[in-house]
Amino acid sequence: MSLVSTALLPVRVARRVAGAVAHALAPAPAPAADLVVIDGMPEGVPPAALQREPTLPAPASWPFGEHFPRTCGTGRFADGALFWTDFLYDDHGAAGVPVRVPTGGAPARGTYLYPDGPAAGNGADVFRVAIGLDTTHTWWRIDWNTLVDSAVPIGLFTVDTDRGAAPTNECPANAGVRSAGIDLALLLSGAGAWLIDSTTGTRTAVEHRVDMESRSFLAKVPRALVAPTGTWTVRLAAGLADEDGTGFAEVPFVRGAGPGQPNVYNLAFRTREQEKVPLNFWSEQAQADALADGDVSQFSLAVPWEQLAERRTEAEPVVTGVSTRWYVSSVELGQGVGDGNILDTAPQFLGRVQPYSVCLPATYAPGRRLPLTLMLHSLALGQNQYAAFDPKLLHEVCDGRNSIVVTPLARGPSCWYFDEGELDVWEVFARVVEQLGADPNRTVIAGYSMGGYGTYKLGLSYPEVFSQAVVLAGPPTCGVRLVRGVQAPADFDPTSHCAREGDTWPLLANARWLPFVIAHGGLDQFVPFPGIVQQVFELDRLGYRYRFAAYPVEDHVAFLLKDDFDDPVAHMGTGLRQADPGHITFAWYPQLVREDLGIGPHRVWWVSELRAAEDVTQVRGQLASVDARSYARPDRTRTIRRRRGVIPDFDPTPGLFTEMTWQVGGEVDPLPLLTLDLTGVAGLAVDVVRAGLATLSRSTITVATDHPVRIRLASLPPGTTVELDGRPAAPVVDVPVGRSQLTLTAT
């Protein structure tokens, strides 16, 4: 293979090579006007990315609106209430006795487990809290992440009304924790709500409501009973209710509590600053440590009643740096956390509300459009992987490139970005564009390990959407592949998508317009190096742009923990995605198209309405493919350049690189011809305007297909006649198996 070669076009096409050329891994920036955008999203995203976010149900009697912050660990004033959002799936209690070996998911710092049944592995997880004031009452609200049975959770507000000496520091109701200056407490369970006098322990029942649809507990305390004056310091602890719902149930040793440890699974009013520590995957390290000690005073919320009376309202908090946000999914798979392990691709986090990690660079400001980077997480980790393991990488990708960076949870530790795991990525993508103003036309997809697999899978399935794909130690198949044909799926279920549709090798031809950056360790014990080299060789054979950085002495774990990815990060761009090309090559797995979830490829640039033949759709692991080439809008000439060298970096270790780039030359004279080579395709549409045929007086579309195919000629100019093999045809034409010719004539 020569070091310099020229991408060949048919000899009938004349060439005009321009004097100036661009030498780059990424394409020359396309004018934004050339990019097709649908409802603010890049053309080519699946329907899931175009859906509006569902609205969460609100308690019918709640009078203050739904002004909860989207950033976990933050609060805001609005419309007479103070609204707080807690972290999600952080209900792991104290750092006690690890009674169960984790089989899936990012490790928690707390050790508490739930009993089987309606607790659903998540039954005491506080989602949101609000405290409001009207003319007659103070209002107290807890929203639970999971509420299968109202008898499961219990919440205890403790209140320091004067920030002075108080009768006790010990929390009532068998919570087992203490906090400074408890003047009174408010207990809420499914059975009722009680105001507790800290001096006498006397309980006074107050108005109480449970709203199962919104998963809310509400309590109203008459102002005549307790006057809301000054600024109160409020704390909230949550756990499982005892049998009569009047106190906290004991957490026994067999569910992870050590001797004398409290009965609290979750504490509210912890800020993102308090939970910023290494390896804090669920933002509950500070909580776990405080519960192990028993003193939870540090987690509190100041409630200035005068400002609530004045109905102070402030904007949604804007948090730069790393934080966790939440969104409402279009699907609810159940409630709570399912039983799962890393050898099962089924979703584990089931609820309608899902978290994701986001990094906003220091330059972020509302209204400013910044590039977007999707950083997909690894197997058995979660949305906070990069903040927990690789803060340097996250800083370089975020602040170093002035890019918004998001990591979806993807419904579990091991979904491998199939089905609901893929849906989560697209819904996060849509919410970040909608709520944070990220530029969806400048999106890089990237990830480590399983996240690298997701980069291959999603990047190759939707090449029109992304400007670049960056794979860090990522397997090319769902599982382990030594070389092609010698591989083991990550899901032992032989009927899973992982086992049947998990190989990205057949999709590599889709990368014609999607540059890849790949970095890998030569001693990788989980993602064998030979399989990666084979993947790179195929990109090289195809003549596609890539950069491959190989580190001979790095293994899978050390490579991650060293947190040094300078070379791949240096080659991450922030440019626009590819505009309409002349040559489109695309293959897809029909089995991965889920119309019920709104996922699966359906178009690539000017070829749309893709539909696989029924017999192909019904056979597991089968592919359908399109090779569409418009000579009426030919791509510019390009010369392939290969470059090899040493990466002289001793952090982590020296590496070698191989790079293929294009030198883009001049424009090519058009011809009135378009070719379609179809395999396993039952239907598609061709936009004749974007394909360059609409302005021609006469043009030809040559079709070669192995299945009968229905072709719709979209955007056909009025008065244009269509012929199929010399016979009159309609703009929607059924083409038989074999080779056929469509002729378009302007009249």
Residue 192 included in any domain: yes
* Predicted pLDDT of residue 81: 98
**What pLDDT band is residue 102 in, cutting at 50, 70 and 90?**
low
Residues 256 and 395 in one domain: no
pTM for this prediction: 0.93
For residue 89, pLDDT over 60 is answered with: yes
417: tokens are: 């970005």
Q: How far is CA 726 from CA 243, 402, 614, 715, 729, in A?
A: 82, 56, 29, 22, 9
Residues 503 and 535 in one domain: yes
Please give the tally of structural domains in the chain: 2
Residues 227 and 336 in one domain: no
* Predicted pLDDT of residue 665: 92
The answer to whether 591 and 500 are in contact (CB under 8 A) is yes
* Predicted pLDDT of residue 3: 30
Examine the fold and report which residue of 292, 309, 326 is the final residue of a domain before the chain moves on: 309
**What pLDDT band is residue 419 in, cutting at 50, 70 and 90?**
very high
Amino acid at 81: A
Residue 411 included in any domain: yes
Alpha carbon distance 276, 282 (integer Å): 11
Examine the fold and report which residue of 275, 293, 309 is the final residue of a domain before the chain moves on: 309
Alpha carbon distance 716, 2 (integer Å): 44
* Predicted pLDDT of residue 714: 97
Residue 95 included in any domain: yes
The answer to whether 215 and 352 are in contact (CB under 8 A) is no
Q: What is the pLDDT of residues 671-695, one digit of tens each?
A: 999 999 999 999 999 999 999 999 9
Q: What is the pLDDT of residues 121-157, one digit of tens each?
A: 999 999 999 999 999 999 999 999 999 999 999 999 9
Residues 249 and 365 in one domain: no
366: tokens are: 């509302």
Examine the fold and report which residue of 629, 664, 699 is the final residue of a domain before the chain moves on: 664
Q: How far is CA 109 from CA 100, 229, 288, 357, 725, in A?
A: 13, 38, 6, 18, 69
**What pLDDT band is residue 6 in, cutting at 50, 70 and 90?**
very low
Residue 102 included in any domain: yes
H or E element at residue 450:
helix 450-461
* CATH number of the structural domain spanning residue 432: 3.40.50.1820
As beta bridge partners, residue 263 has none
Residues 260 and 324 in one domain: no
Residues 422 and 302 in one domain: no
Residue 403 included in any domain: yes
Residue 509 included in any domain: yes
Q: What is the pLDDT of residues 721-746, one digit of tens each?
A: 999 999 999 999 999 999 999 999 99
CA 637 to chain CA centroid, nearest Å: 37
Residue 65 included in any domain: no
For residue 221, pLDDT over 90 is answered with: yes
As beta bridge partners, residue 663 has 23, 639
Residues 278 and 392 in one domain: no
Residues 480 and 549 in one domain: yes
Residues 277 and 169 in one domain: yes
Residues 426 and 473 in one domain: yes
Cβ neighbour number for residue 573 with a 10 Å cutoff: 20
Q: What is the pLDDT of residues 355-381, one digit of tens each?
A: 999 999 999 999 899 999 999 999 989
Question: Looking up tokens 């149900």, which residue turns up?
Answer: 57
Residues 250 and 333 in one domain: no
Triad 219, 223, 226: Cα angle to 5°: 90
* Predicted pLDDT of residue 487: 83
* CATH number of the structural domain spanning residue 249: 2.60.40.1190
Per DSSP bridges, beta strands 371-376 and 439-448 are parallel
Residue ranges making up the domain that contains 155: 77-309
Residues 355 and 463 in one domain: yes
Q: How far is CA 198 from CA 77, 140, 167, 702, 711, in A?
A: 28, 18, 6, 85, 76
For residue 441, pLDDT over 80 is answered with: yes
Cβ neighbour number for residue 67 with a 10 Å cutoff: 16
For residue 59, pLDDT over 60 is answered with: yes
Residue 12 included in any domain: no
